[in-house]
Amino acid sequence: MPDAGQPQAYDFAEAEARWQRVWDERGCFRVADLPGDGKPKYYVLEMFPYPSGKIHMGHVRNYTLGDVVARYKRARGFSVLHPMGWDAFGLPAENAARERGVHPAEWTYANIAAMRGELRRMGLSLDWEREFATCDPAYYGQQQLLFLALLSAGLAYRKESFVNWDPVDGTVLANEQVIDGRGWRSGAPVEKRRLAQWFLRITDFAPELLAALDSLDRWPERVRTMQAKWIGRSEGARLSFPLARPEGSIGAIEVYTTRPDTLFGMSFAALAPEHPLAAAVALRDPEAARFIAECRRLGTSEAAIETAEKRGYDTGLRVQHPFLGDEEPVWIANFVLMEYGTGAIFGCPAHDQRDLEFARKYGLPVPPVVLPPGERAETFTIGDAAWLGPGTMIHSDFLDGLEWEAAKRRVIEELEARGLGQGEVNWRLRDWGVSRQRYWGCPIPVIHCAGCGVVPVAETELPVRLPDDAEFDRPGNPLDRHPSWKHVRCPRCGGKAERETDTLDTFVDSAWYFSRFCSPAAVRPVDRAAADHWLPVDQYIGGIEHAILHLLYARFFTRAMQKTGFLSVKEPFAGLFTQGMVTHESYRAADGRWLYPEEVERQADGSVVERQGGMAVSVGRIEAMSKSRRNTVDPGAIIARYGADTARWFILSDNPPDRDMEWTEAGVAAAHRFLHRLQRLAGSVADRPVEARPPAEVPDLFSEPARTLRRRTHQTIVAVTTALEEFAFNSAVARLYELAGAIAEAERRESDAGVAAARSEAMETLLRLAAPVIPHLAEELYARLHPGTSALVALLPWPEPDPALIAAETVTIAVQVGGRLRGTIRLPPGAPEPEVLAAAAAEHNVARALAGRRIVRHILVPDRIVNFVVAG
């Protein structure tokens, strides 16, 4: 144990619990819905956790980051809202019910109780009085009210779309439950099945969701880029290809393309397997039907469809080229998506990589029509790579000689003039399907009546509660087969009717919880005044994996709530920070078993063996902690062994928070050692009381070591403040290590009264700067420095730097000759140019490098660098 030999080491378990109690009793972190304290507001929020039962290191990282921000902003004089709750609906609870016979509610609330305890032991400065879980009827009832508001605003509607269907279990599968095209439990090949489902009209907001990204200047650039690409505005053309012979009632294929300029390079047309024309062909062509059935087995995941081998089926149909009248074959292709554009494309293999691979596979022609700069039309051919860049049009009739961009405009004009098509803006974003055929989610509050159609449940009847007595003994939706729950009277005609048995996607739950936190007890979804006060969230923190879906849905839902009169803001998150994953080495025994880190031991020679039995263990790669690889470290065990402050310090100290971090035993031990060092330092400072505060206005009265320490103290305030503002927490930690080293060094050099005063100032400053990271130890040591005080570091203002103490007495200037470093000189800051040049040229190694050479010119960056450019 690292704390062996530390007899009077403080008992962190006792002390951490004690300070947590003090903060709690004094209500340090509670705020009112409408504070009225005149302070500026600051809303810090970390993505709320799914209650799996135990916190993991990702949570520790996420909530430590948020807590540092919350404590720092409080010290800067803000009234800080920092709430916590539970994203409590979802699949795992239902799986637990099926596997272990525990009711999802019982399982979920037990998990919440366990995780709440773990989070409390982390010492987070949360307002726990705002806690709720999305599975509380009080929460999901309000969500049902929001759904009804969207419904009456025309933002919710029903349409048919595809789900993954397990034909053996008779159940709908999530994408993650489809493994290699088969159901995870039954092993049966999945099928796409068409189902009527609820959708939210996110596409109505596509233009503004895209445009407003520019205003989110405190979001990571890459998240904004990803969202912009996801929304995917494209300009192109919609055009119609007449069929040479109509197929039943279908006489033409509608196609959307972003490359109308390549129309003369067409060598085929391709349909999505779900396209109506494909279905029509399948009716008379068993081969086509078989091909379509095979495509259905790919499931609904776009990644699965796009990574699958590109395959097609030639329907034998022909379409006419709109300008040339040539006939081109119509294929059904597994990579054409029904959800994007019109579900049909024209293939131009020379200028689209996917089309090229398809054409090569099936021996279709590849005529180039865009000539890259520097190529000659007579010799240019396409090899393995399609040409996607700019160029001049060739082999393209009336487009010949035009640049590609001009050709796009020209061909659209021509299509419009001849009534064959038109220019069109298209969006990649699709409407948000929110229906889930599952029990553990928010019931959709509508009733289906044979006579009246879809009838909303009256607001006074909300919440529509989940029945407690559902059965989980077989697959499928327990709500749908519940004996009585869905059978109701139609609110409109009083006749027999059925409740909607689908529940809402859990992304809906997390699309507005941050608004609910402003007034968690309100009888409406939000109290308008409280929401107006606190929103938007000033700093939102969570994993990069949510960069697109959750964040985009929350942005949309906030706009939808604004439009339906619940909120004033349109953008929910003014600032966003995305953290990296927590990783660890993985260990595998000779027989292939994965081993937990606590099951292995590192030998003196660096090899790793199993604790039980001493068998050799192979050390695998460092990767994201996961249960299947068993490379997890339990935060609960770490906190019990080292304390919350150690865990918090280490998780911030090692690397920048937006990158992946590796959890190592050595790193935790080092963090723990440093906290012991702080105690020894504080003890030695406390043992030597200071008569008076150091008079800042007369720094000359201090000895040089005292002046140096004071300068470093005040430089540290500036550096740590800047680092915290920039989320460079690892750099803040490095500056605190340095200040601790400087305190120890000052005493070694000189122990006069000035140094004692400077040390006292430095130590207290260090504690207050470190307090957001290690709040318990900061309180403990602050109390030791100020015996009898009732002040809490948690409530103290942030230290103020004194600019007069910061200025350096000398600067080091690098001297280069011909761009290579040859020496350094030390001068007072702001020395005049001739003096700097003279000193630089006189430096012995510089003088040697200059000998026999002519100085052509020099470059001088004040107080930083001199570069003599030489000839010869």
Partner RNA sequence: GCGAGAGUGACGGAACCGGUAGACGUACGCGACUCAAAAUCGCGCGGCCGCGAGGCCAUGGGGGUUCGAGUCCCCCCUCUCGCACCA
Within 587-606, the residues that bind RNA by CB under 7 A are: none
Q: Which of 215, 225, 618, 789 binds RNA (CB under 7 A)?
A: 225
Distance, CA of 77 to CA of 68 (rounded, Å): 15
Find the binding residues for RNA in span 307-336 (CB under 7 A).
307
Which span (140-148, 303-311, 464-472, 480-488) binds RNA, by CB under 7 A? 303-311
Q: In the complex with RNA, which residue's Cβ is closer, 482 or 822?
A: 822
Element (H, E) at 446: strand 446-449
Smaller CB distance to RNA: residue 701 or 861?
861
Using CB under 7 A, which residues numbered 107 to 136 contact RNA?
none
Burial zone of 787 (CB within 10 Å; 0-12 exposed, 13-18 middle, 19+ buried)? exposed
Q: What share of the chain is helix, strand, coil (3-state, %, to 5)?
A: 40, 20, 40
536 cis-preceded (ω within 30 degrees of 0): yes
Question: What residues between 32 and 91 interact with RNA by CB under 7 A?
Answer: 50, 87, 89-91
CB of 491 to RNA, least distance (A): 26
Gap between the Cα atoms of 129 and 336, Å rounded: 51
164 within 8 A of 436, measured Cβ to Cβ: no
Q: How far is the CB of 567 from RNA (least distance, A)?
A: 23
The nearest distance, CB 580 to RNA, in angstroms, is 7
Encoded tokens for 377: 């039309």
Binding mask 9-28 for RNA (x = CB under 7 A): --------------------
Range list of H helices, 620-752: 635-642, 644-653, 665-686, 704-725, 729-749
Closest by CA to 480, choosing from 449, 438, 435, 446, is: 438
Query: Binder to RNA among 812, 828, 829, 838 (CB under 7 A)?
Result: 812
Q: How far is the CB of 375 from RNA (least distance, A)?
A: 17
Stretch that binds RNA, among 103-111, 260-268, 504-512, 636-644 (CB under 7 A): 504-512
Q: Can you tell me whether residue 165 is helix, strand or coil?
A: strand
Site for RNA in 260-279 (CB under 7 A): none
Give CA separation, 69 vs 45, 117, 125, in Å: 10, 22, 10
| Part of the chain binding RNA (CB under 7 A), chosen from 169-177, 282-290, 584-592, 701-709 | 169-177
> Does 750 sit near RNA (CB under 7 A)?
no
Mark the segment that binds RNA (CB under 7 A) among 137-145, 325-333, 514-522, 664-672. 664-672
Q: Interhelix angle for 704-725 vs 57-75, to 10°?
A: 120
Closer residue to RNA in complex, CB, 226/406: 226
Per-residue burial over 29-39, b = 16 or more CB atoms within 10 Å of its CB, e = otherwise: bebebeeeeee
Near RNA in 693-722, by CB under 7 A? none
Least CB distance to RNA at residue 240 (A): 24
Min separation Cβ 25 and RNA, Å = 33
Closest CB 12 distance from RNA, rounded Å:
15
- Answer yes or no whether residue 353 interacts with RNA by CB under 7 A: yes
- Kindly determine how many residues on this chain lie close enough to bind RNA according to the rule CB under 7 A: 105
* Closer to RNA by Cβ: residue 661 or 793: 661
Asked if 215 touches RNA (CB under 7 A), the answer is no
Candidate residues 392, 437, 631, 716; the one interacting with RNA per rule CB under 7 A: 437
Choose between 78 and 594: whose C-beta lies nearer to RNA. Answer: 594
Q: How is residue 190 annotated by DSSP?
A: P
Residue 454, beta-bridge partner list: 448
Name which of residues 612 to 631 contact RNA (CB under 7 A).
623-624
Residue 646, φ and ψ in degrees, nearest 5: -60, -45
H/E segment holding residue 95: helix 91-100
Round to whole Å and give the CA distance between 169 and 253: 37
Tokens of 269: 């047309």
Q: Is 175 in the site for RNA (CB under 7 A)?
A: yes
Q: Is 543 exposed, middle or buried (0-12, 13-18, 19+ CB in 10 A)?
A: middle
Residues 228-247 that bind RNA (CB under 7 A): 229-230, 232
Strand pairing class (617-619; 587-589): antiparallel
Shortest Cβ 748–RNA spacing (Å): 7
CA angle 690, 776, 573 (to 5 degrees): 120
Instruction: Taking each helix axis as running N to C, give the angle between helix 57-75 and helix 644-653, from 0 to 180 degrees, rounded to the nearest 10.
Output: 90
Stretch in the footprint of RNA (CB under 7 A) among 249-257, 301-309, 521-529, 802-810: 301-309
For RNA, the closer of residues 93 and 794 by Cβ is 93
252 vs 870 by CB, closer to RNA:
870
User: Would you say 534 and 178 are in contact if contact means Cβ atoms under 8 Å apart?
Assistant: no
Contact map string, positions 193 to 212, toward RNA, x by CB under 7 A: --x-x---------------
The label of the residue with tokens 């409407």 reads 431
Q: How far is CA 291 from CA 297, 304, 345, 346, 558, in A?
A: 10, 17, 18, 20, 43
Q: Does 422 bind RNA (CB under 7 A)?
A: no
Residues 380-399 within binding reach of RNA (CB under 7 A): none
Please pick, from the candidates 97, 163, 633, 763, the single residue that binds RNA as defined by CB under 7 A: 163
Question: Which residue among 31, 763, 773, 849 contacts RNA (CB under 7 A)?
Answer: 849
Cis preceding linkage at 463, omega within 30: yes
Angle at 800 between CA 796 and CA 802, to 5 degrees: 155
5 makes contact with RNA (CB under 7 A)? yes
Written as six digits, the tokens of 22 are 């003090």
Answer for which of 803, 820, 851, 871 binds RNA (CB under 7 A) is: 820
Cβ contacts of 501 within 8 Å, gap of 6 or more:
437, 477, 479, 480, 486
Interface pick for RNA out of 76, 321, 410, 676 (rule CB under 7 A): 676
With respect to RNA, which residue has the nearer C-beta, 376 or 844? 844
Q: Is 545 in the site for RNA (CB under 7 A)?
A: yes
**661 touches RNA by CB under 7 A:** yes
Scan residues 639-658 and list those touching RNA (CB under 7 A): 653-656
> For residues 611 and 317, what is the distance between their CA atoms, to the nearest angstrom?
69
358 interacts with RNA by CB under 7 A: no
Q: Residue 183's beta-bridge partner residues?
A: 178
Q: Which stretch binds RNA (CB under 7 A): 145-153, 697-705, 725-733, 761-769?
A: 725-733
Interface with RNA, residue 745, by CB under 7 A: yes
Count of other CB atoms within 10 angstroms of residue 336? 27
Which amino acid type is present at position 542? G
Residues of span 438-497 touching RNA by CB under 7 A: none
Q: Which is nearer to RNA, 315 or 653 (CB)?
A: 653
